Structure 1
C-alpha cells in the first residue's frame, strides 16, 4: 500500500535550512533547561509523594497550609491533571510511613467536609534516587553506542555516526521541549521520572528503525543507479520510503495522540514524550542522519 506515488521532493536541497532550525530548537531547549531547570520526579530526587483526589476541588493554598501545619515546610503542592487531584511532594522521608501518615491525618483534619481518597503513595530514598538517575544516563548512552556499532558494521562508520547524532538530536530536542512545556497546563506534568526515561529509550529504538530503512534504500540505489550523483540518490531514496514512513509513523502518532488525550495522568508523560520524539525522529532520519552522510561524503570526495 502506497499513499504517495512517485514524489520528487528535493529534501537534501533544503538541509542547511533545517540544520539551522534544529540548532535554534536545541538552543531554546538548553536555555530553558538553564533558566527553568530540569524538573525531576520523586523517582530521581528521593522523598515522599502523595496523590490525593478530593470530592470537591480544593484551593492549592489551603492544601499547602495543611501540609505546612503537619510540619513539612518545603513541600511542593500542585494540581495533577484535574482540579480535584492534588500532588503533594516533600523531601522528608521519616521512619516507615510516618511522613505519609502525618500528611493524611492533617488533610482529614483540615478538610472535614471534603472527603478524599489516596490514589498513590511513594517513598524513595535519596541514595536510590541518585542511583536511578545514574543508571538512566548509562542506559541511554549504552543504547546509543550499541546502535552506532551496529549501524557502522551494517553500513559504514559514517552511517553509524550520523545515526547516533540524529538520535542524540531527538533525545536532546525532546528533553528541551519537555522542559519548556512542563507545567504550562495542569495537564502537562512532565517531570523526568522512570516513565519518561522509558519513553526516551523507546524513542531511541523507534527512531533508528526509520533511519535504517532510509539508509538501506540509499545503499540499494547506490548499486542500481551508479551514474547518478549522491544528492540525487539521497533524494530518490527518501522519496521512495516516504509512503512507508507516513503509514508506519502515522499509525503510531494516532495511538500516542489517543494516549495523550485519554490515557490519564499516569500514561500522559510517557505518551507525550514519545509523541514529540517520534515526530522529531521522522524529521531527523531525513534532515539530520541522511543529510550528515551526504555532507560528509561530499566533503571527503573533494579532498
Structure 2
C-alpha cells in the first residue's frame, strides 16, 4: 500500500545538519535533566512496599491519602486504583526492618475506619539491596542488548551501518529517559521493559531503512550517497509511516484507557515510537553519510564478491562434468 506517491525523491539529506542540531539539542537536554533532576526511582529499584487493599465499594482514594499522610512513615505514598474501582495499590518506600512488624497490620489498622474498607489482600516488600541489584542488572541488560545489536548489524551490513544504528538507538533511549525524568515518571521494571522494547522497535525500523539503502546502492545509478539515501528513504516512507502510525495508535489506546498501572510503560513507548521513527530516517541515515561510507568501494566489493561466486559455480560445474 502506497500512502505517499512522489514523482521525484524527497531532498531529505540536504537538511541533515538541521536534523543533527535538533537531535543534539534534544540529547543534551535529556542528559542535563538526567544528571540534574535525576530519576524518580520506583520500589523495584529503590526498595519499599506495595500494599493491595480491597473495598466493598468504590475506594475513597482521597480519604486514604489523607489518612496515610497523618503517619510520617507513609507520607507521600502513591495511591492508585488497581484494575477496578474497588481495589487500590499503595506504594511506599517504607519497608519493615523488623520481622516482628507487619506492615499489612499497620495499614489495616490505619484504614479500617475508611468508608467501605474490606481487607488488605497482599503486601510485597523489596529491600534496598534487592532494588540495587535489579538496577544493576537492568543496566547490564541494556548494555548487552546494544552490544548484541552492534555485532548483528556489523555481520548483516557493514561496520558503518552498525555504528550508525547504535548511535540512533542511544539517541532514542536517551531522549526517552529525558522525558521520563521531565514528567517524573516512576522508574520500575515496566519502564525498563519499555526501554528495551524501544531498542527493538527502533532497530527494526532502522534495519528496514538500511536494507532499502543497501538495495539502492546496488540498483540506483547514482554516485552520490546522499542522493541514494533520499531515493531509498522516499521509497520506504509509506511503509515506515503506516507501521509507526499503527503502533502509535495502539500504544496511545493503552496510555489513555489502560489505567494507572501501565501508564508509565505506555508513556515511555509513546515517546519511543515517535523518536524511533524520526531517528531511523533523520539520524541513522545522515550518520551513515558522515562516517564516510563509500558507494564506489561498496560496489567494488559487491562486484568482487559476485565474481568469486561465479568462479565457484564454474569450478563446481567443471568438477561435476569431469573436466576438472
TM-score greater than 0.5 by the shorter chain: yes
CA distance in 2, matches of 1:8, 1:272: 34
Alignment of 1:222-301 (within 5 A): 222-297=217-292
Pair 1:129-2:131 in alignment: yes
Pair 1:102-2:114 in alignment: no
* TM-score of the aligned structures, taking structure 1 as reference length: 0.86
1:114-171 deviation digits (Å, cap 9, x = unpaired): 6366576421122211111111011111010111111111111011011011001111
Residue in structure 1 matched with residue 142 of structure 2 by the alignment? 140
Structure whose alpha-carbon radius of gyration is higher: 2
Q: Is contact 1:60-1:77 (8 Å) kept?
A: no
Q: Is contact 1:67-1:103 (8 Å) kept?
A: no
Deviation beyond 6 Å, 4+ runs, structure 1: 81-84, 298-301
CA distance in 1, matches of 2:250, 2:36: 33
Q: Is contact 1:76-1:90 (8 Å) kept?
A: no
Q: Is contact 1:55-1:116 (8 Å) kept?
A: no
- Out of 198, 201, 206, the position equivalent to 1:206 is 201
Compute the RMSD of aligned alpha carbons.
2.7
Pair 1:92-2:118 in alignment: no
Residue in structure 2 matched with residue 219 of structure 1 by the alignment? 214
Query: How many residues are matched?
Result: 288
* TM-score of the aligned structures, taking structure 2 as reference length: 0.80
Alignment of 1:59-208 (within 5 A): 62-68=66-72, 72=73, 75-80=75-80, 87-94=90-97, 95=99, 98-108=102-112, 111-113=113-115, 115=117, 118=120, 121-182=123-184, 190-208=185-203
SS in 1 for 2:163: helix
Shift in Å, 1:60: 7.2
Give ranges in structure 2 of 5+ residues lacking alignment: 297-324
CA distance in 2, matches of 1:66, 1:107: 12
SS in 2 for 1:122: strand
Residue in structure 2 matched with residue 8 of structure 1 by the alignment? 9
Deviates most, 262-271 or 2-11: 2-11
1:30–1:80: structure 2 CA closer, same or farther, 3 Å change rule?
A: farther
SS in 1 for 2:49: strand
SS in 2 for 1:58: helix
CA distance in 2, matches of 1:119, 1:165: 46
CA distance in 2, matches of 1:217, 1:296: 18
SS in 2 for 1:16: helix
CA distance in 2, matches of 1:157, 1:218: 15
1:79–1:65: structure 2 CA closer, same or farther, 3 Å change rule?
A: closer
CA distance in 2, matches of 1:238, 1:258: 29
Shift in Å, 1:76: 2.9
CA distance in 1, matches of 2:133, 2:89: 28
1:165-219 deviation digits (Å, cap 9, x = unpaired): 100111110000111012xxxxxxx211111111111111111011011111111
Q: Is contact 1:80-1:86 (8 Å) kept?
A: yes
CA distance in 1, matches of 2:48, 2:100: 12
Shift in Å, 1:57: 4.0
Shift in Å, 1:21: 1.3
Q: Is contact 1:77-1:86 (8 Å) kept?
A: no
SS in 1 for 2:187: coil
Pair 1:33-2:34 in alignment: yes
Shift in Å, 1:81: 6.7
